[in-house]
């Protein structure tokens, strides 16, 4: 502790209080070149891309007849899958879109339409 105090007495660190990228415009500090709270720029997936990829994952599931898969298909009612198959499809979707779906959300995804909406609205889907 004494060493720290001794060093701090002799060290001068320049402090800059304002971000040089900020400019004073109309009495307010603005930064037109910065985008706040953006996780990954403008590369968010379109709904069409999400739909195509979700349907592709569902069609590639071994127990599914690809000709019966539509955006409105329910995994259990229309495709005859059980809850374990539903979990496997959600895991396949997580891998396809490189995201993690929390368990509480995953159990609610029981149709292609819900999967499409969830993934399309997820900020980290890629």
The question of whether 82 is a catalytic residue gets the answer yes
| Cα torsion 29, 33, 34, 38: sign | positive
Selected catalytic residue, list 42, 65, 72, 82: 82
**Active-site amino acid positions:** 82
């Amino acid at each position: 502790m004494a060493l720290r105090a001794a060093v701090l007495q002799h060290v001068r660190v320049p402090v800059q209080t304002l971000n040089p990228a900020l400019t004073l415009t109309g009495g307010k500090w603005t930064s037109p070149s910065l985008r706040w709270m953006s996780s990954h720029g403008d590369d968010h997936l379109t709904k069409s891309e999400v739909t195509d990829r979700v349907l592709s994952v569902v069609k590639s599931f071994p127990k599914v007849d690809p000709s019966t898969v539509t955006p409105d298909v329910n995994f259990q009612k229309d495709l005859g899958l059980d809850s374990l198959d539903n979990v496997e499809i959600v895991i396949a979707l997580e891998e396809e879109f490189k995201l993690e779906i929390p368990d509480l959300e995953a159990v609610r995804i029981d149709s292609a339409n819900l999967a499409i909406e969830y993934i399309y609205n997820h900020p980290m889907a890629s």
